[in-house]
Structure 1
Amino acid sequence: MLRNIIHLHIPAFSIEVARVVDPGLRGRPVAIAPPQSQRSLIVCVSPEARREGIFKGMPVLQAKALCPYLELLSPNPELTDRAFKAVTSLVSHYTPLWEPSRPGHIYLDLTGTQHLWGKAKDTAWRLNKEVRSRLQLRGTAGVATNKMVSSIASRILPPQEEIMDVKQGHEEAFMAPLRVAMVPGIGRFQLRVLLEDLEIIKVWQLASLDMESLHLIFGSRAPEIHQRAHGIDPTPVYPMPSKPIISEEILFAEDENDNERLLAALYSMVECCARRLREKGAYPRRAGLLIRYSDTMEIKRHLRLPLLTYWDFELYPYMKRLFLSACRRRTRVRFMKVWFWEFFYEDRQLSLFEDPSPQGEKGKAIVQALDKIRKRYGEGAIRYAKAA
């Protein structure tokens, strides 16, 4: 069956949300950065600021020197989360198969829904109009037969246009004239080899390479890159789980490739999930990890937990092992998410899962003390050194 995939793209989502609250920000160069110091790095940039030469990762001091009238905002994750939930609430009316890739970016699989909604392009137009009229958020949408092409289409639309529809059979022709950097999964090192050593600038040039040449550059990922250069992406739209799930995620202020910092973030997320598991008396049987790189490539891993536990110091070793098996690229990491599901709920009358060892009892006593402190003074009141 012909797939119909829509990618809804609301550029600079956090800034667009801030503009709904303060319409005076519309049309002005705006950026978001942590307020700690002038050495903080820009984490989100409006199109107007981008035209002034501002880019994500630029130091605030440099950005202000380049654009003195730049409007700087502090991050407001709570507001961003509320706004994104409102967007996903609208999206969920069109199909149960929708997948958020990051705030302001959602894939919808409309395969087989033409008798309900009509053509996918018309549905994309209707969805975009609804988001704009009901939430005052301005976005674009790409329509294609796969996730990669729909995502790229939503990002390269000419100004004032809202929908780009790439027809079936035109995927390769659509990709051919694009810059080779647009192909997901090409890291900085490989991009340098393509541009500087091989003088491959456009996707059509990459698509013309034989598999042997691709193997020399990309190793075991050569077949995947070959498919993408030809406009092929079989990746499914992963629907949001309908069963109970406990998750935590982090969008790094600056793309990160330091394993110690990544593992610290991982421990912090596991710690938060474990506290919520204990509050519910829920022992997870399964766990998952998603890593999204700066080039938008995603790696997703799952495991069945061999131990029924809701203690972070027992869950973390399994999640660390999952991380080390998944995070093997040199490319920087932009986003991570951990989640637990398939729960067994404890009977508080029975001590089926108690660890009788003194070491286990001591660890649990420490964690319970930390839970009490955080409940009273907030999540960031105290933390382990490894999560700092």
Structure 2
Amino acid sequence: MPAAQLSLSPAEAAGLFDLPRPAEQCRIVVAMSGGVDSSVVAALAARSGAEVIGITLQLYDYGAATGRKGACCAGDDIRDAREVADRLGFAHYVHDHESAFREEVVEQFADDYLAGRTPIPCIRCNMGPKFTDLFAMARELGADCLATGHYVQRIIGLAGPELHRATDPARDQSYFLYATTEEQLDYLRFPLGGLPKAQVREIAEEFGLRNAAKPDSQDICFVPDGDYAKIVKAMRPEGGRPGAIVHAETGEELGTHPGVIHYTVGQRRGLDIGGQPEPLYVMGIDADEARVLVGPRRMLAVASAEVIETNRIGPLPDAPLTAKVRSMAKPVPVRLDGALGDGKTVTLRFDQPELGVSPGQAAVIYAGERVVGGGWIEDTDKA
């Protein structure tokens, strides 16, 4: 496509990457999943005039994912990434990381569910194969930066690079990147953080990318039909051990369940315990005794949460803090007891009782639009 037909000039495209010197002297490594977002990042990098290298990590079985769109890093998605690289004329490499992904992400996912926790494999993946391994590869290739298609912003503050929410709140992915280290953030680039998704698709069409209209990935990438319990049961058969559904206040046995792997804290549907005077929700899971504890909605309220393995990005400001305790939750005012970062444990105290805070989820802490860190929710105290 002639350059005159593109809405972004080379200089404008280069400006999205905050390069240390003229683009034509730079090398950009782009993490390519095969989706439209990372493909547009690669197209913008090429438009800037920099040398571009695309890398795709094959994270799980290619054959099982063939023909499945939006899976990320397997099957047709790898083919889509390769076709984008061929169209735009830059090198593209596929690295087999299936073994590491299974050990660091999938096995942990199964273990967490078996223990009655609610895991977030996307964060585990970002902490491991996606950032740690890609970071090392990009460095070995002599790249000036590693660019991804995440919807977050990297903004230079007084103390250096900061991680901020995306300008499009419907696309913001900052919750999943709280574990980014300061060293990684110095090297990473997120050129889509200031763009709405509609514009990203328009850019893909301008470049003639065949995946411009490709649907976004909705489910966990290694759970092709959305049935995570089936995956966990296949890996950890003991997770399908039947047990009792017990009222958390009265201790009354209200029914039975087919295995704790089918339930998460805050869940209402699928309990199959009719005839109760008020709706009941999952309050907790006793994995050792195969018991699912249920109660009324008010019992979901917690006053504080113990957060472990914390990470901090930049200085902790002397300003009000908020926290998200689920990816789709709104940030709520909090106070911290303890030193955030360096893997330390802190106590997160909510200004108002918070509902549905589940061990295994992440608590991500914000100062305004900036991500200051976070960690894994280990335990909670009821309000």
**TM-score by structure 2 length?**
0.31
| Bigger strand fraction | 2
More helix by share: 1
